[in-house]
Amino acid sequence: TDKGRVTFSFNEKTWPDSHITEDIAALAAEFAAKTTLYIPGITPQKRLGILVSKQDHCLMDLLNRWELGKLDCRIQFVASNHPQSEVVLHRLARFNIPFVKLPTSPDDKASPDQPRKQEQALLQLAKDTDFLVLARYMQVLSGAFLKEYNRDVINIHHGLLPSFKGANPYRQAFNAGVKMIGATSHFVTEELDSGPIIEQLVDRVSHRDDVSQFAIKSKTLEMRCLTDAVTYFLDNRLIRYGTQPNERVMTLN
């Protein structure tokens, strides 16, 4: 099946936006095609919820890009399972972005059909979002949550997937003696760190680098890799195709 993205200009006087959706739908039906129509200034902005844990570098980079007008979206909230610094809270307050501290409990477990209590709170919080971004959110979202949320979730993994899945990929990469480290942004699925990959960035390391140097280099990659992925998503440049476990992402120019 062919996939693509078409960008076009139109005269609002001769082709009013009230007719565009109807005309595009008719054209798509003629070719049995599935379409998504985005009209700048008319199509509502996507609504984003951001989840973060202790490390805030990816969150701050997203806020920087958003403040500069590089991310065309509405940030509905930032939520975390950890308290955030005064710098983060002040930044959010300046833009009237709500911050929510999610409830945590060691006994809070998910079942196949029931999200954890923390996830139930998140579902209520995220009911008016179009997608979620995990900006170094170090909690695994359960399959029950993903099924109920039923919208896209983008994650940044601080390792070069499919290698070094799970916890502490810096240490995993260091112990493996790699010469390249990386960061991976991907859509979230039920299988940990196995969703379709959106973007990957790499940097060289050597025997002179210890684990702390791996982390420093990786954080720079993580920020850019995540914000690039969110930008592609907001620009409607991502097409998912195939089925798990072989689902992939096409990034359109």
Write the CATH number for 126: 3.40.50.170
Tell me, yes or no, whether 128 and 199 share the same domain: yes
What was the pLDDT predicted at 160? 94
Enter the tokens of residue 52: 């973060």
In sequence order, the β-bridge partners of residue 79 are 51, 100
What was the pLDDT predicted at 24? 87
Tell me, yes or no, whether 131 and 169 share the same domain: yes
Tokens 């993580």 — which residue? Answer: 222
Q: Exposed/middle/buried for 141, CB within 10 Å: 0-12, 13-18, 19+?
A: buried
Query: Structure pTM?
Result: 0.91
Q: Which residue segment(s) compose the domain that 56 sits in?
A: 45-251
What was the pLDDT predicted at 165? 94
78 within 8 A of 97, measured Cβ to Cβ = yes
Enter the tokens of residue 205: 């390391």
What was the pLDDT predicted at 40? 77
Tell me, yes or no, whether 26 and 37 share the same domain: yes
Tell me, yes or no, whether 168 and 98 share the same domain: yes
What was the pLDDT predicted at 235? 92
Q: Select from 115, 114, 145, 118 the least CA-distant residue to 132.
A: 145
Domain count within the chain: 2
Tell me, yes or no, whether 51 and 32 share the same domain: no
Sheet containing 131-134: order of strands = 99-101, 73-80, 46-52, 131-134, 152-157, 180-187, 197-204
Tell me, yes or no, whether 194 and 245 share the same domain: yes
Helix, strand, or coil (residue 204): strand
213 within 8 A of 232, measured Cβ to Cβ = no
**DSSP E strands: which ranges in the chain?**
46-52, 73-80, 99-101, 131-134, 152-157, 180-187, 197-204, 238-241, 248-251
Low-confidence ranges of the chain (pLDDT < 50): none
Tell me, yes or no, whether 28 and 116 share the same domain: no
Q: Which residues are catalytic?
A: 193
Tell me, yes or no, whether 161 and 221 share the same domain: yes
Tell me, yes or no, whether 126 and 72 share the same domain: yes
